Amino acid sequence: MDIVGTWTGRTACHLQEALRMTNEAFAEHLGISVRTISRWHSAPEMTHRIEVQQILDTTYERAGEAVRHRFSLLVRPPAEAPPAQALRVAIAVVVRADEVLLVCRRDGGDISWQFPAGVVKPGSSPEAVAAQETHAETGVHATVRRHLGSRLHPVTGVLCDYHLCDYLTGEAANRDQLENADVTWVPRANLTRFIPVARIYKPILAALEDA
């Protein structure tokens, strides 16, 4: 049984709720006025006089187990919701000789060129997602060479993991026509004609220069 150190308007009203009594019935049960019960509801932080504290102690102690259990649930602070996981995306920068693989996204009425990417679900490996989504979107098999870094995307606010990938095999084709308008290899020197340089993660540009 929970012990109530000090009865307040709020805890007294919780006891009333646990007893499933109206204001009138609760007032009669305690031997006090209905006006007093109404004041408890309007002033939840108020502390009762010692005589009322004793009355409430006795009422609670004599209540049945079901009533005390309901009271315990009512006074217990609500559990904090687990923090939401930020949306995380694995992005594959796939190179083949002097070319890099791009997909043309359908984003509402807009169309924009981007690197292949996929959402990383809890427990999944970003490296595996980068390779799997590249194949699912384009038919190209690739392997991750190294991690280029992470950032919150300046436009979408999504957490992005960037991976430099080496081409293995497969012909580039649009295998997700609902999401994408096209798939193509572009010369690395022409990348900024497809994606504005301000939107490209700087370590990508450095890695492509070194590749």
**Sites in the chain below the pLDDT cut of 50:** none
The pTM for the full model equals 0.60
**Cα separation of 181 and 183, whole Å?**
7
206: nearest Cα among 93, 91, 116, 128: 93
Are 96 and 117 in contact, with CB atoms under 8 Å apart? no
The pLDDT value given to residue 42: 85
The pLDDT tens digits for 120-139 are: 988 899 999 999 999 999 99
**C-alpha–C-alpha distance, residues 8 and 119, integer Å:** 50
As a whole number of Å, the end-to-end CA separation of the chain is 69
pLDDT reported for residue 122: 86
pLDDT at 140: 97
* pLDDT given at position 96: 96
104 within 8 A of 116, measured Cβ to Cβ:
no
